[in-house]
C-alpha cells in the first residue's frame, strides 16, 4: 500500500477547550477558537504493511512502546474500521515543535496522523471528517486541520463535533510571542487536569455557560480584525480557565511565580499603551498576543525583569497538507 506523509501545524486556543462532556468520544463542554501557527509543525508518514505483526510507531527517531503509543493505535484502529482493513501500520513522526519552544505538540501530531493514516488506508476524507478523526486522538488536534483562525464547535456527538475554518489566510498583524518559563511545576497533563475540574469544581457549569457566551463575541472580533477585542477576550478566557483549576479539589495550578511576573508585566505594558494580552495553557509558559511592531518593546521590558528568559515568536500558519505520497 502507498505511504503518505502529512504536515500539520500546532495551534493555540484563544478561547480554551477545558473539559469533556464525553470522555470516550472527546466531545467538549465548550466550543473553542484557535490560531494555527506557522513556525511549529509535525510531519508524519504512515504506511499499512501486510504481514507486519504489530503497529510500529517511531517518534523523533525513537520506537514508542507501552501506554505512550495507545492514543496513536486508537486513531489507527478508527482508520482501519473506516477503511475495512486489519493491516498494521508503520508510523514515522517528526516534531518540529522543539520542547524549548514551550508549545505542546499533541495538536499538530494527531492532525498529521489523521491526514497521513486516512490517506494511506485509501480513504479520502473531507476536512470535517479529518477534524473528527484528529479529535479522537487529542481534542485540540481537531483545530489543526485548518490554518489561521479556527473554531471547534462542541457539538453533541461523534459526527457533529469538529472544527471549521474562520479565516485561513490571515494577512493582518497578529503574533504569539511565547515566553518560556523553566521552573516547571509537577506535570499534570491536560486530560487529568480538565477531568479533575469537571468532576470537582462547584463553579464549572458557570464557567461553561460564560465560555460559550464568549464565542460569538470572539467570532465578531476576528471578522472585524479587532485586535484589542480578540486580546481582551482571550486573556479573560485564559485567566478564567486557570481560575477553575484553583476551584478543583484538590486545587492545582499550571502557573508559577514566573508566569505571574510575566502576566503582570503584560498588564503593565498595556497600562503604558501597548496592545498586548496574555494566554496560558496546561503549563507555566505565557504566550503574549501581540503585534509584530511591538516585539522589540516587549522584549526589552521582559529582559529587564527576567534577563535569562527565552522567547519565540510565532505567526499565523496553514492547515493540514499532504506533502508526500508514493508507491
Ligand atoms: O486536546 P488537549 O488534550 O491537548 O487539551 C488542550 C487543552 C488546552 O491546550 C489547555 C486548551 C486548548 O483548547 O488547546
Clarify whether residues 67 and 24 are in a common domain: yes
Clarify whether residues 266 and 293 are in a common domain: yes
Is 298 inside a domain boundary?
Answer: yes
Is 319 inside a domain boundary?
Answer: no
Top mutation candidate among 16, 146, 215 for ligand 1, by most atoms within 8 Å of CB? 16
Residue pair 146/127 in contact by the 8 Å Cβ criterion: yes
Atom of ligand 1 nearest to the CA of 104: 4
User: The domain spanning residue 35 has which CATH number?
Assistant: 3.30.230.10
Domain boundary among 170, 185, 210: 170
- For the stretch 301-324, pLDDT in tens is 999 999 999 999 999 999 999 998
Check pocket membership of 29 for ligand 1, CB cut-off 6 A.
no
Nearest CA to ligand 1 atom 8: 281
Nearest CA to ligand 1 atom 9: 281
Tell me the residue range of the domain where 21 lies: 3-170
Cα 137 to averaged position of ligand 1 atoms, centre (Å) = 12
Cα 140 to averaged position of ligand 1 atoms, centre (Å) = 5
Atom of ligand 1 nearest to the CA of 17: 13
Clarify whether residues 110 and 233 are in a common domain: no
**Residue owning grid cell 457549569:** 205
- For the stretch 36-80, pLDDT in tens is 999 999 999 999 999 999 999 999 999 988 666 899 999 999 999
Clarify whether residues 105 and 196 are in a common domain: no
Clarify whether residues 59 and 7 are in a common domain: yes
Is the pTM for the entire model greater than 0.90?
yes
Cα 52 to averaged position of ligand 1 atoms, centre (Å) = 33
Check pocket membership of 191 for ligand 1, CB cut-off 6 A.
yes
Residues 243-260: what's their mean pLDDT?
96
Domain boundary among 170, 185, 216: 170
The ipTM estimated for the assembled molecules is 0.99
Chain centroid offset of residue 236 CA: 18
Nearest CA to ligand 1 atom 10: 281
Check pocket membership of 106 for ligand 1, CB cut-off 6 A.
yes
Cα 16 to averaged position of ligand 1 atoms, centre (Å) = 7
Mean pLDDT, rounded, of the chain: 95
Cα 282 to averaged position of ligand 1 atoms, centre (Å) = 7
Is 322 inside a domain boundary?
Answer: no
Number of domains in the chain: 2
Nearest CA to ligand 1 atom 4: 140
Clarify whether residues 41 and 157 are in a common domain: yes
- For the stretch 11-28, pLDDT in tens is 999 999 999 999 999 999
Amino acid at each position: 500500500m502507498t505511504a503518505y506523509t502529512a504536515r500539520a501545524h500546532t495551534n493555540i486556543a484563544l478561547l480554551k477547550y477545558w473539559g469533556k462532556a464525553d470522555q470516550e468520544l472527546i466531545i467538549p463542554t465548550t466550543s473553542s477558537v484557535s490560531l494555527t501557527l506557522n513556525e511549529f509543525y509535525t510531519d508524519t508518514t504512515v504506511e499499512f504493511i501486510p504481514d507486519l505483526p504489530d503497529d510500529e510507531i517511531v517518534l523523533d527517531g525513537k520506537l514508542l512502546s507501552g501506554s505512550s503509543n495507545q492514543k496513536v493505535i486508537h486513531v489507527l484502529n478508527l482508520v482501519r474500521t473506516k477503511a475495512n482493513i486489519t493491516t498494521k501500520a508503520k508510523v514515522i513522526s517528526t516534531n518540529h515543535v522543539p520542547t524549548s519552544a514551550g508549545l505542546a505538540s499533541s495538536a499538530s501530531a494527531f492532525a498529521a496522523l489523521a491526514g497521513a493514516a486516512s490517506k494511506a488506508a485509501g480513504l479520502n476524507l473531507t476536512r470535517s471528517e479529518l477534524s473528527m478523526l484528529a479529535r479522537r486522538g487529542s481534542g485540540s488536534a481537531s483545530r489543526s486541520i485548518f490554518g489561521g483562525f479556527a473554531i471547534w464547535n462542541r457539538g453533541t456527538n461523534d459526527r457533529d463535533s469538529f472544527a471549521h475554518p474562520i479565516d485561513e489566510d490571515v494577512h493582518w498583524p497578529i503574533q504569539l510571542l511565547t515566553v518560556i518559563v523553566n521552573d516547571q511545576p509537577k506535570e499534570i497533563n491536560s486530560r487529568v487536569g480538565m477531568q479533575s475540574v469537571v468532576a470537582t469544581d462547584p463553579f464549572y457549569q458557570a464557567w461553561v455557560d460564560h465560555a460559550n457566551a464568549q464565542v460569538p463575541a470572539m467570532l465578531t472580533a476576528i471578522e472585524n480584525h479587532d485586535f484589542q477585542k480578540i486580546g481582551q477576550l482571550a486573556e479573560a478566557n485564559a485567566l478564567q480557565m486557570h481560575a477553575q483549576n484553583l476551584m478543583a479539589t484538590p486545587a492545582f495550578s499550571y502557573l508559577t511565580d514566573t508566569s505571574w511576573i510575566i502576566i503582570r508585566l503584560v498588564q503593565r505594558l498595556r497600562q503604558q499603551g501597548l496592545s498586548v494580552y496574555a494566554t496560558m495553557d496546561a503549563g507555566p509558559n505565557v504566550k503574549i498576543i501581540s503585534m509584530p511592531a511591538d516585539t522589540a518593546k516587549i522584549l526589552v521590558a521582559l529582559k529587564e525583569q527576567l534577563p535569562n528568559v527565552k522567547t519565540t515568536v510565532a505567526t499565523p500558519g496553514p492547515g493540514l497538507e499532504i506533502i508526500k505520497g508514493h508507491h
